[in-house]
Amino acid sequence: GIVEVLSAFGSRIDILVANVGFLIAQRFEELTAEQWQRGFALNFFTHVYACQAVIPLMKQHGGGTIIFTGSDQGLQPDAGLGPYAQAKSAVHSLVKMLARELPADGILVSAVAPGMTRTPLVERLMEGYAREFGTDSKTAEKLELQRRGVPLGRLGEPEEVAEAVLYLATAPFCNGTILNISGGNVRSMTC
């Protein structure tokens, strides 16, 4: 478990980056209870369990920073992404709750909310869209970005998300921040 892994580092953890994403893409009426449970198990409860493991260790050593990977879908969900979008919205809510509870212990909590980023998960999604659209993945990517109305018209790159995580990990006044890095996909006035 995590205790054994961290023993090599003096049982000290300064930064937790909880990064997980599993997409179930179906219309609401087609989703089963098991799909909802799996979506939340993977996209929400993994964050809860990681926090339960590291918060006591962070408290022992005077604090730390927790950064979750949320999603633009947790801020502004698209149709057909129910369990994923709803679980990521719950992650954002968890950030807000922990950001109120943990600062007295020196622990800051924030999240990045990336839009579609060139990851294996999104590449598989684009392959599915390519089959659906009867085209290749590059064309499907372009069509999907147009459909969603993403102003930058491109996928994010993993390095861009990593830069946002690094910023939150080193920003001493960021707490409870949900950093929208969606290429303009999220259009709300508040995040």
Q: Tell me which amino acid residue 160 is.
A: E
> For residue 77, what are the contacts with CB-CB under 8 A and spacing of at least 6?
85, 86, 89
Dihedral sign of CA atoms 136, 142, 143, 144 in order: positive
Under DSSP, is residue 89 helix (H, G, I), strand (E, B) or coil?
Answer: helix
Under DSSP, is residue 26 helix (H, G, I), strand (E, B) or coil?
Answer: strand
Residues serving a catalytic function are 84
CA atoms within 13 A on the CB side of 127: 7
Return the closest-CA partner of residue 88 out of 66, 64, 114.
114
Question: H or E stretch including 159?
Answer: helix 158-170
- Tokens at residue 83, please? 């369990």
Residues in the chain: 191
